[in-house]
Copies of this chain bind each other. A is one copy, B any other.
Amino acid sequence: MTAALGELLERARGGHRRSIGRLLSVAERGGADADELDALTVACTDRAHVVGVTGAPGAGKSTLTGALALALAAQGLRTAVVAIDPSSPVTGGAILGDRIRMDDAVAAVRDQVFIRSMATRGQRGGLALAVPGALRVLEACGFDLVVVETTGVGQVEIDIVGEADTTVVVLNPGWGDAIQANKAGIMEIADVFVVNKADRPGADDTVRDVEHMLDLGHRGVDGSWRPPVVRTVATDGRGTDALVTALADHRGALVRTGELEDRRTRRITGEIRSRVLHALEDAVTREIAAAPGELADAVARRTSPAEAARSVAARLLHPDRGRTGHGGL
Contacts and interface: CB of A to CB of B under 8 A. Distances in A.
A271 to B, nearest CB: 5
A92 B305 contact: no
Contact of A268 (B34, B93, B275, B305): B305
Contact of A39 (B35, B181, B304): B304
Given A277-B277, A295-B268, A153 B88 contact: yes
A267 to B, nearest CB: 9
A124 to B, nearest CB: 5
Contacts of A120: 154-155
B155 A309 contact: no
B154 A154 contact: yes
- Chain A residues touching B, majority SS: helix
Interface of A: 34-35, 38-39, 42-43, 45, 56-58, 86-90, 92-93, 120-121, 124, 132, 151-156, 159, 177, 180-181, 183-186, 261, 264-265, 268-269, 271-273, 275-281, 283-285, 287-288, 295, 298-299, 301, 303-310, 312-313, 316-319, 329
28 contacts: A34-B306, A35-B304, A38-B305, A39-B306, A56-B88, A86-B154, A87-B153, A88-B184, A89-B177, A121-B185, A154-B154, A265-B295, A268-B295, A269-B295, A272-B305, A272-B308, A272-B309, A273-B285, A275-B305, A276-B288, A276-B309, A276-B316, A277-B277, A277-B284, A279-B309, A279-B329, A280-B316, A316-B317
Given A87-B153, A271-B305, A276-B312, 17 more contacts: A38-B306, A42-B301, A42-B303, A42-B304, A57-B88, A89-B183, A120-B155, A121-B185, A268-B295, A269-B288, A269-B295, A272-B298, A273-B288, A276-B309, A277-B281, A316-B317, A317-B319
